[in-house]
Structure 1
């Protein structure tokens, strides 16, 4: 197994992983990125806004980015505004 470093970008902060995690190939890297994003989002979704993107950049031992994954939070208040009707197909 090789060691990979999972750097985190939250839109306002960037944190480099100084320790890394040993992963078994591409599926191990993907699994670790997928596991980490919801945990980060759970703690970092802003209390004062409704948009936030979280990105994991995975580096190998040679400092090359080998994988990236992102999770986006978008909240929208639905008030008294009606949902717009779809436009009619003008190509028919």
Structure 2
């Protein structure tokens, strides 16, 4: 089974994955990257109004095979009254 490595970047910090995960194929690696982005966003909400998180997936040869990103932002609408 191939091994995939998931390097993460949150705009401030790059965290390389030196262990990787054994997964059946690239489709499984894509699902894992999507789950990881959701976990990162939930656990590390930014102090500012916008943050983009990236995961770069590499194969065993060190080649990037997939890149996924997620942007979170908060926009305050001035002049809006609560109903």
TM-score higher than 0.5? yes
| Structure 1: runs of 5+ lacking an equivalent | 82-92
Q: How many residues align?
A: 80
Paired position in structure 2 for 1:25: 25
What is the TM-score normalised by the length of structure 2? Answer: 0.90
Which portions of structure 1, spanning 4 or more consecutive aligned residues, are displaced by more than 4 angstroms? none
Q: How large is the Cα RMSD of the aligned pairs?
A: 1.1
Deviations 1:21-57 (A, max 9, x none): 11111211111111100101112221x2110000000
Question: How far off its partner does 1:76 sit?
Answer: 0.1
What is the TM-score normalised by the length of structure 1? Answer: 0.82
The one of the two structures with greater contact order (alpha-carbon pairs below 8 A, sep at least 6) is 2
How do 1:6-85 residues align onto structure 2 when only pairs under 5 Å count?
6-46=6-46, 48-80=47-79
